Structure 1
Amino acid sequence: MTPSIVDLTNCEREPIHILGSIQSYGYLVAIQPETYTIVHASDNIDKLLGIPASQLLGQSIEQALANSELPVGSLVEFLNVGRRSGSWDTLNPYQLILDQQNWNLIIHEHNGLILLEWEPVGDQNTAANQQLISQALTELQSSRTIKELLQNTARRIKTIIGYDRVMVYRFEADWHGHVVAEEKADHLEAYLGLHYPASDIPRQARELYKINLVRQIADATSTPSRILSETDWPADQPLDLTHSVLRAVSPVHIEYLGNMGVQASMSISLLYRGELWGLISCHNYHPRFVDFSARQAAKFVSQLLSAALEFRKDEEDQTNLLKYRQYGQYIHEQLLIDENIVQALTKRAHTILDLTEATGAALLFSNKIYRLGKTPDEAEIMGLADWLKASNTENFLETNHLPALYPPAESFKAEGAGLLAVVLSKELNEYVFWFKPERIQEVTWAGNPEKPVTVGEDGQQRLSPRKSFDAWTQLVHNTSNPWTEAEVSTVVKLREDILQVVTKQANEIRLLNQRLQLAYEELDAFSYTVSHDLRTPLSSIRCYSEILQEEYGKDMSADAQALFQKIIDSTERMRSLIRHILYYSRMGRTDLDTQEIDMKELLEGIREEIMVTMKDRALTFEIGSTPPILADPTMALQLFTNLISNSAKYTRPNPDAIIRISGKQSDGEVIYTLEDNGIGFDMKQAGRMFDLFKRLENARPYEGSGVGLAIVKRIINRHGGKIWFHSEPNRGTTFSVAFPTVTTT
């Protein structure tokens, strides 16, 4: 007998945006934008309009509602205004009176349909809500701590919506939740401090929370109303309720709320840099409807909190980044002055231990280990180095749960449960390690986080919502405090500083030269293959395609012509990629023609060329001080063109795109900094930045070959310079390049 398999992902895969029904307190129709023909309607619509849903389907709004109490003319005009403006947010809600009751009509457009949702107007007190918002703003400005800020927000939200319990729920790195603030009725048990497993709020639900900032379940015990569709509507295209305010509730979540004894709930999203930081989670133990006005007031308070969290976190991050960078500058100066790298890093006034909040650090260099602070012993460090050498780690590694990646680390978790490592040379077994100790946490869960398994009627085992929410305490071992973006950014810069000095001191004797010689020979053969064996057939493909298109184009279908054009476009992209590869492979063997370069002229030329290609968008260049550099003119042009073109490309989503470029003369080098406000990236992906043909995940939607930054890195290495960077997702990127003021060979 084949053993049954537990479906551990049934919550993750549940299509909660197309459940096919709405909550019973409201009513819905969906219409086509051009004709206003009704193609979907909730089964309960007759209670509002006095017309069965079956009679509405297939008719235009004007035809279907001509004999109803609804002011059809005003409604159609409202729809026309919304469509002309291209936005419904500023128009919602449309208020009307039906059967002596006030209703809010909330409209949105999604997936080619306009959705109209009616819900009752509650006992709203607009003036009181405005006063509460004003008080919330005052408290946000005066709160001295994050804890006080969160607690005050929970109190304000509870006052606005009148729920029994309001919690501020923060997501941790693994997406489990932690209640960090709570306001509740006196008779209720406190949930403050409890943790909830990530499976309680599955991935697709978290994604919807980023789109719908306010989500209400007015009565978890009510029967939802089905959505009926026009007779010939495709069965495989159910109505998408992603943006709906009435969207019904997943049966799994209904069961979950029932297990908690909750009959009404509301969730308000808290975002940080566009990502989900947490939720304001509200519970009521009896059905409770919160109308549109009160929900908007609660949403505004949550947005104030999100803005305050972002401001305070950014302020803290910037302070730490400046502190670490200052120590990094001290160590860089020590490296330039001191010929002994080990002494510069471990035995001077400032050491590598100053660059992070680590409690221990180790340098592996020239077959010796140098330890600072509290670290594992030498044998354990050597074992860690051997593991890294055999791993896929190329430039750096960061983790606050090292034993999970490297089980032997459990023996030294008191010194190194967290590891931040930079690779200087795998071949020579040279690394810098920073260690953070184990931080044993006593985590109190709201019930055992392991979900129970049930067997359905089909015999399949499935996860079901937990039934117990009694406090359940667990000790979490083998983890440390996490590494911050500022810490990672600082050590990435240190790696460049060290490698610059190492390359200068040991250029003739290090193993790297032997490997480079072999690589150059292989690149010679590769260049010959590319230039002769690839370019010729590629040209033939393009030529024959153009001939066929010209000779038979008139007789071809539109689809065939499009396919031929795709072939031609693809050959052009491949020709461009081959040119990049040839340039990359030849660059290492080309003699440098070092000259003093007028950087103002070079940068202005690049700016003018890019502005011509980007004339369809707003893009601002700010060019500051432009001290000259000593470099090969062709290579310098290629380097800055690649960097500036990348900034122009990745700022495209920003309507106010800015690229700032400035240079400064420092001791022994000229440093140019290029800053943009584009899409940025996670510094934890920094190790792949200069890899050939490697592109970061968020860059994939943008055209590119993955060669440009590899070329930039190779050019800067040829000049004996260095390049480093700092970035944050959706916060822009800063690249810095340093050219020595003395010619290198």
Structure 2
Amino acid sequence: MNFDKKNLFQADISNCEREPIHIPGRIQAHGFLLAVSPDTYTIIQASENVREHLGIPADQLIGKRLNSLQAGTRFLGDLLTDLLNLGLRNQSLEAMNPYRINLQEQEWNLVSHQHDNAVILEFEPAMIHTSGQHLQRLLAQSLSTIKASWSMDQLLDNAARQVKKITGYDRVMIYRFWPDWHGEVVAEVKEDNLEPFLGLHYPASDIPRQARELYKTNRVRCISNVYQPDSALYPVLYADRKRPLDLTHSLLRAVSPVHIEYLKNMGVQASMSISLMYQGELWGLISCHNYTPRQIDYSARVSVDLVGQLLSAALEYHKDEDDQSFTQQIKEAGQTLFSHMLKDWNIVRGLTQYETTALDINSATGAALFFEGKLHTLGQTPSDNEIHGLIGWLQTTNTDTVIQTTHLANQYPPAATFSAVASGLLAIPLSREMNEYLLWFKPEQIHSVSWAGNPEKAVNIHENGSIKISPRTSFARWVQEVRQTSAPWKDAEIATALKLREDILHVVAKKANEIRLLHEKLRKAYEELDAFSYTVSHDLRSPLSTIKSYSEIILEEYGEEFNDDARTLFTKVIRATDRMNILIRNIMDYSRMGQNDLQVQSVDMRKLLSRLREETLVTEKSRALTINILNTPPVVGDPIMVLQVFSNLLSNAAKYSRQAQSAVIEVNGFRNEYEIVYSVKDNGVGIDMKQSGRVFDLFKRLENTGQTEGNGVGLSIVKQIMNRHKGKVWFDSQPSRQTTFYVAFPHMPVAQKNQ
């Protein structure tokens, strides 16, 4: 019945943030626990102190049916069985909490819940400090007082006072988390003889990550006596899980030894915490301390939980109300900037040269715009060289939307030299490719933080070399001067910056992107394309037709006079002109691909592929070839171009599988959330993936295709068509084994036309 506390609880440098506090394998010993199978009502785990309260050793309960339990109340097992039947049948175990039971002339609260494939029954002594009617009056008074609070400070102060009235703890604090998860006492009500904690800060390590996650799930957490030994659960490992029972929702769950030591160092013997939530995240805690052991009845805990929920709702209201005016102001400034930029399509003038500038959409004291190779500044900023260095660093980051920090020197050390004007940075990339950014700066805000003792935990090295982190032993006020840090960026400031970024990109897209990046390339490309098309159609096709015609005439009229070599040469000339005609036609198709509008409609792929299969089999009738067509979901696209795509893919698959003894081509399609994907697989010569970058290049053929007819245009056409459809084409291959080409057509309305 013993288990290794050392392995389960030792808190050292490597596991402090990973201590499994939800499966401690123990409970607080002022109550006891039974875990029951929800199917058979068999007892599968029990706290070892059950013997003190039921007179039965824990190991003798394991494996027995709940209805066999007799203790205090003769028919306790039947009563519990009936309660579980009712609760599980109605799926409302928690609705019966607490159920009052008398055991050995003592009143107990039975609190039950289902978790980790077990029904967990927890028995806790009923501790009535106030009558039910008085408790209801206190709760009603608390709710009215909190609702009537007109400011955030008054709201927090009133909530702390009402919780102290309900619970009677020596000290009640409102503890708020900062963005880095360290905490600050922002409201406090205490006994007169206690020193104040109001305004003190506590490091994030005092309430580690896994504890904060549990506070989001289990809103009220009580510790009745830090000096009372815990009671272990038997057996140590739960059922076949090879770990202790999950006590995430348990009200008796034992406390981390590190936290127990922490409370003892503070002189606290009992505590309670109530979670405060804001928009689904942990905002803070109502933290209650008592300097003697204290247990709070379940009904009182339910009351303070309601107070915590009401306070959480009030926090959202007050915080949103406080932010609303500022948010509305910067939103209006952002809209004004957008109007300025639209007036003359000038980004720089719109952001920097009117009465409302980029400095008006947040609380920054300086701003810099680097756009089209020039730097423009507003307010108090670092020097031009320092800003250029900062932009160079921004280029190395991975963020594409917004970068914000209140401690720039921590991420970009050279910023320490200009922290007086730019300890805080908010930056939005406008174009990473063109190195264009808009930046805002906040100055250094030197301030003092009063910590409850030195926030660094003590590190002790034992004789065996193990390293153990111990909770702080001193909580005396410890003042730290904070430098190179700015005031925080508000969520509304970040959101408005993101909106401004979209506005700028909208203006740029309308005025500049197509013009400054594509105009010159398009002009040259169309001039070359027109010249190329003219050359192909007139200078090449006409003489080629003449060569073929004269060759056919000569072969027909004088062929009988030629020897075999001469006839073979003329035949080769005629075949070469045919191949050249095909190549010219493919080139013309490729050159026109970017000019013709898409005639988009739903394409019946079963019909299209069946037609192509028949044509391919006729062309390849002299060899063993099988073409299997599997799933054929329809695609939306230009029917002629879709036909070209699959015609090229099927002809390539047939062509490059001619060396296979039994060639097989498989075509299959499937639909996912975003697109229709088709694959065309063959068992031919394959492609060396080292040459994969050349596959879709015009006129490029791979090394292992030299003996197979082709001109290196077909796959380029496929690539062009898929680009026109905003789709994709890719492949994978194993040389001498298989090649699979994939094409993906995006979902789009049938009526959509090419823009």
Alignment deviations for residues 17-47 of structure 1 (CA, whole Å, 9 cap, x no partner): 1111111100100000011100101111122
Residue matched to 2:232: 226
Is the deviation greater in 309-318 or in 110-119?
Answer: 309-318
Please give the alpha-carbon distance, in whole angstroms, between the structure 2 residues aligned to 1:233 and 1:257.
33
Matching residue's letter, 2:488? P
Q: Does 1:482 align with 2:488?
A: yes
Alignment deviations for residues 236-258 of structure 1 (CA, whole Å, 9 cap, x no partner): 13211111111111111111111
Equivalent residues in 2 for 1:11-90, closer than 5 Å: 11-65=16-70, 68-90=73-95
In structure 2, the CA distance between the partners of 1:172 and 1:512, relative to structure 1 (3 Å rule), is: farther
Alignment deviations for residues 322-366 of structure 1 (CA, whole Å, 9 cap, x no partner): 322222221111111124322111111321111112111121122
Q: Does 1:242 align with 2:236?
A: no
CA shift, 1:234, in A, is 3.3
Q: Does 1:165 align with 2:171?
A: yes
In structure 2, the CA distance between the partners of 1:574 and 1:155, relative to structure 1 (3 Å rule), is: closer
Check whether the contact 2:72–2:104 (CA below 8 A) recurs between aligned residues. no
- SS of the equivalent of 1:30 reads strand
Q: Which has the higher contact order (CA 8 A, sep 6+)?
A: 1
Check whether the contact 1:49–1:70 (CA below 8 A) recurs between aligned residues. no
2:388 to 382, 385, 394: 382
Structure 1 unaligned regions, length at least 5: 1-5, 519-523, 544-567, 591-634, 639-706, 720-744
Please give the alpha-carbon distance, in whole angstroms, between the structure 2 residues aligned to 1:130 and 1:516.
78
CA shift, 1:387, in A, is 1.4
CA shift, 1:570, in A, is 12
Residue matched to 1:293: 299
Residue matched to 1:554: none
- SS of the equivalent of 2:349 reads helix
Please give the alpha-carbon distance, in whole angstroms, between the structure 2 residues aligned to 1:435 and 1:70.
73
Residue matched to 1:194: 200
Check whether the contact 1:28–1:115 (CA below 8 A) recurs between aligned residues. yes
Equivalent residues in 2 for 1:598-609, closer than 5 Å: none
CA shift, 1:517, in A, is 12
1:400 to 402, 406, 411: 406
Check whether the contact 2:629–2:668 (CA below 8 A) recurs between aligned residues. no
Matching residue's letter, 2:255? V
Matching residue's letter, 1:12? E
Residue matched to 1:94: 99
Please give the alpha-carbon distance, in whole angstroms, between the structure 2 residues aligned to 1:90 and 1:422.
51
Equivalent residues in 2 for 1:108-123, closer than 5 Å: 108-123=113-128
Please give the alpha-carbon distance, in whole angstroms, between the structure 2 residues aligned to 1:70 and 1:209.
37
TM-score by length of 2: 0.68
In structure 2, the CA distance between the partners of 1:364 and 1:455, relative to structure 1 (3 Å rule), is: same
Alignment deviations for residues 361-405 of structure 1 (CA, whole Å, 9 cap, x no partner): 121122222221222222211111121123323232111221111
Equivalent residues in 2 for 1:321-332, closer than 5 Å: 321-332=327-338
Check whether the contact 1:11–1:252 (CA below 8 A) recurs between aligned residues. no
In structure 2, the CA distance between the partners of 1:107 and 1:585, relative to structure 1 (3 Å rule), is: farther
Alignment deviations for residues 455-481 of structure 1 (CA, whole Å, 9 cap, x no partner): 246421121111111111111112212
Please give the alpha-carbon distance, in whole angstroms, between the structure 2 residues aligned to 1:322 and 1:587.
45
Check whether the contact 1:273–1:310 (CA below 8 A) recurs between aligned residues. yes
1:178 to 184, 193, 206: 184
Residue matched to 1:564: none
Check whether the contact 1:37–1:58 (CA below 8 A) recurs between aligned residues. yes
Alignment deviations for residues 540-577 of structure 1 (CA, whole Å, 9 cap, x no partner): 8988xxxxxxxxxxxxxxxxxxxxxxxx9997549947
In structure 2, the CA distance between the partners of 1:312 and 1:586, relative to structure 1 (3 Å rule), is: farther
Structure 2 unaligned regions, length at least 5: 1-10, 525-589, 594-604, 606-612, 614-626, 632-666, 680-716, 728-743
Alignment deviations for residues 642-701 of structure 1 (CA, whole Å, 9 cap, x no partner): xxxxxxxxxxxxxxxxxxxxxxxxxxxxxxxxxxxxxxxxxxxxxxxxxxxxxxxxxxxx
Check whether the contact 1:452–1:463 (CA below 8 A) recurs between aligned residues. yes
Check whether the contact 1:49–1:69 (CA below 8 A) recurs between aligned residues. no
Q: Does 1:335 align with 2:334?
A: no
Please give the alpha-carbon distance, in whole angstroms, between the structure 1 residues aligned to 2:324 and 2:721.
41
Residue matched to 2:266: 260
Check whether the contact 2:67–2:76 (CA below 8 A) recurs between aligned residues. no
Residue matched to 1:147: 153
1:510 to 505, 516, 524: 516
The total of aligned residue pairs comes to: 562
Please give the alpha-carbon distance, in whole angstroms, between the structure 1 residues aligned to 2:668 and 2:62.
46
Residue matched to 1:557: none
CA shift, 1:507, in A, is 3.9
Q: Does 1:282 align with 2:288?
A: yes
CA shift, 1:174, in A, is 0.7
- SS of the equivalent of 2:96 reads coil
Matching residue's letter, 2:117? G
In structure 2, the CA distance between the partners of 1:585 and 1:305, relative to structure 1 (3 Å rule), is: farther
Matching residue's letter, 2:411? L
Please give the alpha-carbon distance, in whole angstroms, between the structure 1 residues aligned to 2:472 and 2:100.
41
- SS of the equivalent of 1:295 reads helix
Is the deviation greater in 236-245 or in 226-235?
Answer: 226-235
Residue matched to 2:320: 314
CA shift, 1:202, in A, is 0.9
Please give the alpha-carbon distance, in whole angstroms, between the structure 2 residues aligned to 1:711 and 1:402.
44
Please give the alpha-carbon distance, in whole angstroms, between the structure 2 residues aligned to 1:570 and 1:135.
67
Residue matched to 1:620: none
In structure 2, the CA distance between the partners of 1:371 and 1:232, relative to structure 1 (3 Å rule), is: closer
Residue matched to 1:138: 144
Residue matched to 1:624: none
Matching residue's letter, 1:223? P
Q: Does 1:433 align with 2:465?
A: no
Please give the alpha-carbon distance, in whole angstroms, between the structure 1 residues aligned to 2:111 and 2:445.
49
Percent same amino acid among aligned pairs?
A: 50
Please give the alpha-carbon distance, in whole angstroms, between the structure 2 residues aligned to 1:500 and 1:312.
35
Matching residue's letter, 2:329? K
Please give the alpha-carbon distance, in whole angstroms, between the structure 2 residues aligned to 1:473 and 1:100.
54
Please give the alpha-carbon distance, in whole angstroms, between the structure 2 residues aligned to 1:129 and 1:515.
79
Please give the alpha-carbon distance, in whole angstroms, between the structure 1 residues aligned to 2:335 and 2:674.
43
Alignment deviations for residues 291-310 of structure 1 (CA, whole Å, 9 cap, x no partner): 10111111111111111001
Residue matched to 2:459: 453
- SS of the equivalent of 1:17 reads coil
Please give the alpha-carbon distance, in whole angstroms, between the structure 2 residues aligned to 1:242 and 1:99.
29
Alignment deviations for residues 217-245 of structure 1 (CA, whole Å, 9 cap, x no partner): 10100111111129994371321111111
Please give the alpha-carbon distance, in whole angstroms, between the structure 2 residues aligned to 1:333 and 1:299.
49
Please give the alpha-carbon distance, in whole angstroms, between the structure 2 residues aligned to 1:380 and 1:60.
76
Check whether the contact 1:39–1:230 (CA below 8 A) recurs between aligned residues. no
In structure 2, the CA distance between the partners of 1:579 and 1:157, relative to structure 1 (3 Å rule), is: farther
Alignment deviations for residues 491-532 of structure 1 (CA, whole Å, 9 cap, x no partner): 2221222222223333455347789999xxxxx9xx9xxx9x
Alignment deviations for residues 90-141 of structure 1 (CA, whole Å, 9 cap, x no partner): 2201111122221100000001100000111112422222112212222222
Please give the alpha-carbon distance, in whole angstroms, between the structure 2 residues aligned to 1:177 and 1:76.
45
Check whether the contact 2:68–2:78 (CA below 8 A) recurs between aligned residues. no
Q: Which protein is bigger by CA-based radius of gyration? A: 2
Please give the alpha-carbon distance, in whole angstroms, between the structure 2 residues aligned to 1:20 and 1:231.
8
RMSD (Å) for aligned C-alpha atoms:
3.8
Check whether the contact 1:178–1:194 (CA below 8 A) recurs between aligned residues. yes
Check whether the contact 1:49–1:68 (CA below 8 A) recurs between aligned residues. no
In structure 2, the CA distance between the partners of 1:417 and 1:586, relative to structure 1 (3 Å rule), is: farther
